[in-house]
């Protein structure tokens, strides 16, 4: 087995000459397993026809390591927090799967809890499933060349089978498949942008590399990509993977260069301002220091946070040569000028998830949006098992019957938003994350705007719904009612005098999170039991709330049908364009952390709010 020089620098052997800056040390342990590769990629020192040195991969050298001493050092580095991931790269060579499994086992024993990625030339879903069964977090299938013609030239094969496998694998193992794309092999910026879009649509994470000529390879005399071109590709990858734009909405010059990102330059510059787009991309905590460049620079991929000056310079380098404008877009490919309407991300979760996960994801999206990493987001989701959510300030000891929840198989989680308890069962839940600058007004005013979109969507379903008056009886803290659905608040959605949607909102500084339950069917008796409201509560609730099925005379609309109708209604009322997307890798990791540290813990879910507790950072309301 071999380890990269930077990995060994962390362990202690090569620090002085390999990574001069402490902040530039690897945050991932990089390992290489296997003999010289059976494949013959023109850029790779491990290719079968490359020169005699077999200790190189890209421009990095990979010394052999002794298992025992290496794993002792890796264990210490993981315990110290320097190594936050392990990446095992495999050549295509005899017995590689057995050897790889052995190294993964050693990694899990020596560094328990450390996420592991395996980059491998697997042949099908079966081998991917086998690798994941070892306890690996994700598998990377290197596409490398974005353009089919270039792919055949430098890799000696057509990309169709690899693309098909990437799509199948991502569908089978969502969030666990990645790929490599190398810029500078001869493709155009347009071809690379289209490849980014294909990967984003499939849910495949892209690690972007700059081509590096290495002595002994077939492309030793070639040149790396121009830095400005690479900056444009980094910007395009960031904007596409964050669902801020799509490749088909971008404009390209006659040479296939990026002329517009499909947004105004001010919008692009704002999204790139922090410099995140220009850092190493790929798996979380993978920084690959000096994989594509010398430490003296120029840096293609920053292995650390950029300084403000570096970030400003990189953003300017990413500016297209042709001034970006929204004018003149309407005649391209016969499409209307949709960029005049703000683009939001639309996430429709495919399967029901637990209460802690659902609440963690809502907060993770809010945090990612605050950081400028994602677009405004509309998300739809469901629950398994059925779950009671408590308002932020509610006392679990008095607001819910925990024994009844256990008997009925009902989960329990505390929301970030205020208001009263809600039972999430046969429903479609929506959440919206957007800045108050894009959706201005008070809590009540923003709720009215969003509710208007829901009402418009319900008309598509055949339901004549309306907004309750502004001065309806409040349902927040201090209300004599025990359940959210017992009373409509200002601008709540009602049909035939009965409430059909219950929503709540929280604001953190200038970011709004609003989520709500759209009832498909209402089991008022179960709701009364789990909230400990007494036998008479079920009939009382049934008279004040109803599911869509009852209001549509027994027709139960499907999950996707409701999501589509509501999405169209919000698009029309808010004047936005919804573009399908997925959670980013960062959002997924944040959600996992929030489940572990907050929403999956009794300390959060069962806490007793202090008398007179206030929350100066957040503004919470129930509707």
Tokens matching residue 503:
């929503």
Token pair 């421009």 in the structure block, residue: 59
Residues 6+ apart with CB under 8 A from 314: 231, 234, 272, 275, 277, 278, 306
Residue pair 519/556 in contact (Cβ under 8 Å)? The answer is no
Residues 433 and 330 in one domain: no
Q: Could you tell me the CATH number of the domain that includes residue 254?
A: 3.20.20.70
Supply the angle between the helices 96-110 and 125-133 in degrees, to the nearest 10.
Answer: 30
pLDDT tens, 249-299?
Answer: 999 998 899 999 999 999 999 999 999 999 999 999 999 999 988 887 889
- N-term to C-term CA, the chain: 60
- Residue that terminates a domain, selected from 299, 316, 340: 340
Task: Indicate the burial class of 95 (C-beta count within 10 angstroms; 0-12, 13-18, 19 or more).
Answer: exposed
The confidence score (pLDDT) of residue 545 equals 87
The confidence score (pLDDT) of residue 12 equals 77
| CA 144/CA 555 separation, integer angstroms | 50
- From its phi and psi, is residue 94 left (phi > 0), alpha (psi between -120 and 50) or beta? beta
Residues 6+ apart with CB under 8 A from 288: 26, 28, 30, 280, 282, 301, 303
- DSSP assignment string, 540-562: HHHTTB--HHHHTTT----HHHH
Residues 258 and 361 in one domain: no
- The β-bridge partners of 511 are 435, 508
Which H/E stretch holds residue 74? helix 67-79
- The β-bridge partners of 498 are 495
The confidence score (pLDDT) of residue 540 equals 82
Residues 358 and 239 in one domain: no
- DSSP helix, strand, coil percent of the chain (3-state; round to 5): 35, 20, 45
Tokens matching residue 571:
């698009």
| CA 332/CA 590 separation, integer angstroms | 39
Which candidate, 383, 481, 419, 334, places its Cα nearest to that of 621?
419
Residue pair 118/100 in contact (Cβ under 8 Å)? The answer is yes
pTM above 0.75, yes or no: no
| CA 374/CA 345 separation, integer angstroms | 8
The parts of the chain modelled with pLDDT lower than 50 are 14-21, 322-339, 472-482, 486-488, 616-617, 622-623
Q: Could you tell me the CATH number of the domain that includes residue 533?
A: 3.30.930.10
The confidence score (pLDDT) of residue 67 equals 72
Which H/E stretch holds residue 195? helix 189-202
Residue pair 25/82 in contact (Cβ under 8 Å)? The answer is yes
Which H/E stretch holds residue 545? none
The confidence score (pLDDT) of residue 413 equals 97
Residues 299 and 386 in one domain: no
- Residue that terminates a domain, selected from 282, 311, 340: 340
Q: Which residues are annotated as catalytic?
A: 484
Tokens matching residue 263:
């947004």
Tokens matching residue 307:
């300084």
Residues 6+ apart with CB under 8 A from 378: 344, 345, 346, 347, 430, 431, 432, 567, 570, 578
The confidence score (pLDDT) of residue 615 equals 52
Residues 166 and 242 in one domain: yes
| CA 429/CA 382 separation, integer angstroms | 6
Q: What is the DSSP letter of 223?
A: -
| CA 345/CA 337 separation, integer angstroms | 18
Residues 274 and 353 in one domain: no
| CA 319/CA 302 separation, integer angstroms | 18
Residues 349 and 425 in one domain: yes
- The β-bridge partners of 430 are 380, 516
The confidence score (pLDDT) of residue 582 equals 87
DSSP-derived 3-state class of residue 414: strand
Which H/E stretch holds residue 423? strand 422-424
The dihedral built from the CA positions of residue 79, 81, 82 and 87, taken in this order, carries a sign that is: positive
Residues 199 and 117 in one domain: yes
DSSP-derived 3-state class of residue 201: helix
CA dihedral 180, 186, 191, 195 (to 10 degrees): -10
Residues 6+ apart with CB under 8 A from 261: 235, 236, 239, 245, 250, 268, 320, 324
Which candidate, 141, 129, 442, places its Cα nearest to that of 282?
141
Q: State how many domains the chain has.
A: 2
- DSSP assignment string, 476-503: STT-S-SSGGGS--TT-EEETTEE-EEE
Residues 130 and 155 in one domain: yes
**Domain carrying residue 325:** 2-340
The confidence score (pLDDT) of residue 281 equals 96
- Residue that terminates a domain, selected from 304, 324, 340: 340
- From its phi and psi, is residue 466 left (phi > 0), alpha (psi between -120 and 50) or beta? beta
Residues 605 and 468 in one domain: yes
Tokens matching residue 17:
């000459």
Token pair 């509309």 in the structure block, residue: 378
Residues 537 and 448 in one domain: yes
pLDDT tens, 495-543?
Answer: 888 899 989 999 998 899 999 999 999 998 899 899 988 767 777 888 8
Residues 465 and 546 in one domain: yes
């Amino acid at each position: 087995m071999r380890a990269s020089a930077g990995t060994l620098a962390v362990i202690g052997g090569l620090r002085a000459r390999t990574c001069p800056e402490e902040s530039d040390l690897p945050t991932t342990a990089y390992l290489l397993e296997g003999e010289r590769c059976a494949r013959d990629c023109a850029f790779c020192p491990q290719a079968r026809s490359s020169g005699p040195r077999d200790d190189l991969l890209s421009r990095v050298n990979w010394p052999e390591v002794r298992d025992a001493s290496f794993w002792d050092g890796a264990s210490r580095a993981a315990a110290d927090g320097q190594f936050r991931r392990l990446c095992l790269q495999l050549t295509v060579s005899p017995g590689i799967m057995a050897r790889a499994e052995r190294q993964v086992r050693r990694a899990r024993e020596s560094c328990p809890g450390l996420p592991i990625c395996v980059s491998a030339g697997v042949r099908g879903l079966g081998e991917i499933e086998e690798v994941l069964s070892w306890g690996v977090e994700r598998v990377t299938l290197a596409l490398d060349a974005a353009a089919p013609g270039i792919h055949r030239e430098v890799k000696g094969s057509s990309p169709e089978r690899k693309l098909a496998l990437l799509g199948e694998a991502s569908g089978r193992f969502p969030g666990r498949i990645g790929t490599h794309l190398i810029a500078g092999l001869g493709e155009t910026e347009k071809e690379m942008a289209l490849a980014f879009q294909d990967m984003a649509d499939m849910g495949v994470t892209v690690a972007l590399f700059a081509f590096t000529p290495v002595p002994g390879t077939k492309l030793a005399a070639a040149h790396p990509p121009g830095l400005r071109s690479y900056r444009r590709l980094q910007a395009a990858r960031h904007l596409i993977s964050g669902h801020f734009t799509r490749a088909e909405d971008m404009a390209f010059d006659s040479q296939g260069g990026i002329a517009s990102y499909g947004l105004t330059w001010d919008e692009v510059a704002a999204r790139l301002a922090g410099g995140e787009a220009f850092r190493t991309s790929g798996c979380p905590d993978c920084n690959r220091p000096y994989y594509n460049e010398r430490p003296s620079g120029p840096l293609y991929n920053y292995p650390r946070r950029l300084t403000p000056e570096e970030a400003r310079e990189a953003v300017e380098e990413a500016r297209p040569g042709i001034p970006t404008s929204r004018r003149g877009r309407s005649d391209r490919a016969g499409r209307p000028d949709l960029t005049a309407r703000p683009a939001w991300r639309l996430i429709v979760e495919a399967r029901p998830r637990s209460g802690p996960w659902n609440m963690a994801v809502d907060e993770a999206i809010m945090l990612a949006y605050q950081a400028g990493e994602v677009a405004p987001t509309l998300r739809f989701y469901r629950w398994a098992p059925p779950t009671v959510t408590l308002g932020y300030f509610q006392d679990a000891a008095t607001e819910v019957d925990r024994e009844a929840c256990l008997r009925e198989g009902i989960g329990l989680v505390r929301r970030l938003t205020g208001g009263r308890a809600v039972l999430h069962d046969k429903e479609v839940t929506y959440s919206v994350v957007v800045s108050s600058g894009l959706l201005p007004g008070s809590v009540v005013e923003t709720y009215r705007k969003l509710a208007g979109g829901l009402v418009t969507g319900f008309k598509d379903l055949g339901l004549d719904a309306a907004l309750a008056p502004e001065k309806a009886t409040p349902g927040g803290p201090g209300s004599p009612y025990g359940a959210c659905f017992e009373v409509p608040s200002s601008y709540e959605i009602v049909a035939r005098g009965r409430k059909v949607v219950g929503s709540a909102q929280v604001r953190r500084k200038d970011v709004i999170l609003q989520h709500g339950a759209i009832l498909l069917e209402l089991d008022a008796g179960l709701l009364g039991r789990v909230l400990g409201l007494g036998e008479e509560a079920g009939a009382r609730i049934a008279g004040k709330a109803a599911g869509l099925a009852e209001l549509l005379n027994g027709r139960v609309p499907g999950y996707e049908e409701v999501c589509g109708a509501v999405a169209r209604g919000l698009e029309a009322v808010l004047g936005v364009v919804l573009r399908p997307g997925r959670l980013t890798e960062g959002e997924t990791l944040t959600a996992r952390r929030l489940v572990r540290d907050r929403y999956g813990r009794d300390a959060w879910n069962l806490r007793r709010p202090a008398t007179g507790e206030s929350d100066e950072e957040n503004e919470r309301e129930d509707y």
